[in-house]
Chain A
Amino acid sequence: AQSVTQPDIHITVSEGASLELRCNYSYGATPYLFWYVQSPGQGLQLLLKYFSGDTLVQGIKGFEAEFKRSQSSFNLRKPSVHWSDAAEYFCAVGVRGSQGNLIFGKGTKLSVKP
């Protein structure tokens, strides 16, 4: 069965430091991959997505992610974190032929130290 693992439940970084959030998936074919962000009390907002082509994907708010087929990973990165990036981040996998369903990881909560 398809699954998504976000190994880190909670990460704390200092403002200005770099960030990498990990995401590993289990799926037999090339998946569609997404990163969403959720601010407290809000819905989820799309940061970026990968469907095909260039494996390095640029998103909003200065985020990028790299699809690595050999490692079944789609890690999210940002070179310099801002205090406003504090939120919860969800990785998701889209499965072909699934009528639009996405499988979500359990999320990584990011805290930012001043």
Chain B
Amino acid sequence: DVKVTQSSRYLVKRTGEKVFLECVQDMDHENMFWYRQDPGLGLRLIYFSYDVKMKEKGDIPEGYSVSREKKERFSLILESASTNQTSMYLCASSSVNPDTQYFGPGTRLTVL
């Protein structure tokens, strides 16, 4: 079974802090994705990566950056957290294009 893990299930940070969310997949997938999920808005794509060191902006990249130094790991970075970034963050991975995306359990981030 494909496994996608996220570094934290719950995270509480203060406004202005730098926040790192990490995602690791164990299936040698080329593609990795970061979404945020908010009630009534569904899933919105923040960034995705189709190869090591490659990244593409999604629909809502403002305020976020990403890093993919190794194939199995994809990090989402909030350079200076703000309260409007309080949300559920979901990581996913997939192999060929397009194909099933496999999701991690999510990180619920609260920014105070």
**Residues of A near any B CB (own CB < 8 A):** 9, 32, 34, 36, 41-46, 49, 90, 94-102, 104-107
B100 near A99 with CB under 8 A, answer no
Tally of A-B Cβ pairs under 8 angstroms: 64
Write the nearest CB–CB distance from A111 to chain B, whole angstroms: 15
**Residues of B near any A CB (own CB < 8 A):** 4, 30-31, 33, 40-43, 45, 48, 50, 56, 58, 90, 92, 94, 96-106, 108
* Given A43-B105, A99-B31, A100-B94, CB of A49 within 8 Å of CB of B45: no
Contact of B45 among A44, A97, A101 (CB under 8 A): A101
Write the nearest CB–CB distance from B8 to chain A, whole angstroms: 13
A9 proximity list for chain B (CB < 8 A) = 40
A100 near B42 with CB under 8 A, answer no
Contact of B97 among A44, A45, A46, A97 (CB under 8 A): A97
Write the nearest CB–CB distance from B88 to chain A, whole angstroms: 9
Q: Which residue of A lies closest to B44 (CB)?
A: A104
B94 proximity list for chain A (CB < 8 A) = 100
A44 proximity list for chain B (CB < 8 A) = 43, 90, 92, 101, 103
* Given A44-B90, A106-B40, CB of A100 within 8 Å of CB of B97: yes
* Given A42-B105, A42-B106, A43-B90, CB of A96 within 8 Å of CB of B98: yes
A32 proximity list for chain B (CB < 8 A) = 98-99
B98 proximity list for chain A (CB < 8 A) = 32, 94-96, 98, 100-102
B48 near A101 with CB under 8 A, answer yes
Contact of B106 among A43, A97, A102 (CB under 8 A): A43
